């Protein structure tokens, strides 16, 4: 057995728990899906070249290829979900996160309230929502944001500055869909919900509004136990 040098960098430990399970699932599904896609590609070419029933069968093959492509996009989300699950929550505030994410927020008691959040996942969610709600005018006016406090939760309301294009809100989070927006929105909600939070996108007076909320961080007692 080869002896390790004292200066040799050890490989990082693989993720465990939910993150490890998601990565294992991704690897288990990716190879069979890729092999099936290659076989369908070959079948599509042969049907187009030699089969008298080529057009009808080719349409079915192309439909199956589209289904495999959609499944592949879903599988590609698993590593990102794993990174969310693997991140350790730490104390943060909405004001701090909005400041780092470049979102203007009036400072108040709610914006300073302590929350236990996955910082990177929360920042990714806030940055995506800010881009989603940003005005389409040349200046790109950012969304209006306001934090509010309740006895057990802290909420953040982000409102687009102008009217929104026609959107089916009941399908906004649904997967799979064409385009990256629904996938990023799905990941944003996954990041928020991983900390016990909630994320909704609704329409108010013709404007898109993102409603987020998280539970307050539990106060610690003398022995580190929740008070």
**Beta carbons of 19 and 86 less than 8 angstroms apart:** yes
Q: Is the pLDDT of residue 66 over 90?
A: no
Per the document, the length of the chain is 227
Please tell me the CATH code under which domain 89-215 is placed.
3.30.565.10
Residue 19 confidence (pLDDT) above 60: yes
The pTM of this model reads 0.70
pLDDT digits (tens, 9 = 90+) for 182-207: 788 889 999 999 999 999 998 888 88
**What residues contact 119, with CB distance under 8 A and at least 6 apart?**
87, 90, 92, 97
- Higher pLDDT, residue 26 or 193: 193
Average pLDDT taken over every residue of the chain: 77
Concatenate the DSSP letters of all residues of 36-52 into one string. Answer: HHHHHHHHHHHHHHH-T
- Secondary structure letter of residue 171 according to DSSP: G
Give the Cα separation of 19 and 3 in Å (integer).
31
pLDDT of residue 147: 95
pLDDT band for 57, please (50, 70, 90 cuts). Answer: low
Q: Which of 32-41, 99-108, 195-204 has the lowest mean pLDDT?
A: 32-41
Q: What is the mean pLDDT of residues 160-183?
A: 66
């Amino acid at each position: 057995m080869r002896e390790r040098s004292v200066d040799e960098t050890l490989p990082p430990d693989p993720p465990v728990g939910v993150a490890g399970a998601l990565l294992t699932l991704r690897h288990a599904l990716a190879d069979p899906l890729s092999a099936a896609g290659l076989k369908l590609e070959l079948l599509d070419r042969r049907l187009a070249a030699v089969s008298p029933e080529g057009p009808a069968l080719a349409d079915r093959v192309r439909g199956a290829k589209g289904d495999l492509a959609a499944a592949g996009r879903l599988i590609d989300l698993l590593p990102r979900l794993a990174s969310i699950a693997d991140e350790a929550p730490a104390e943060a505030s909405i004001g701090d996160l909005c400041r780092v994410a470049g979102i203007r927020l009036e400072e108040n008691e709610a914006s300073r309230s302590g929350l236990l959040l996955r910082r990177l996942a929360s920042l990714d969610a806030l940055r995506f929502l800010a881009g989603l709600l940003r005005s389409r005018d040349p200046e790109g006016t950012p969304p209006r944001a306001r934090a509010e406090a309740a006895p057990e939760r802290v909420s953040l309301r982000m409102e687009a500055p102008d009217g929104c294009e026609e959107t089916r809100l009941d399908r906004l989070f649904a997967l799979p869909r064409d385009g990256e927006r629904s996938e990023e929105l799905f990941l944003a909600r996954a990041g928020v919900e991983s900390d016990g939070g909630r994320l909704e996108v609704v329409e108010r007076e013709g404007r898109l509004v993102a409603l987020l909320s998280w539970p307050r961080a539990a106060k610690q007692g003398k022995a580190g136990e929740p008070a």
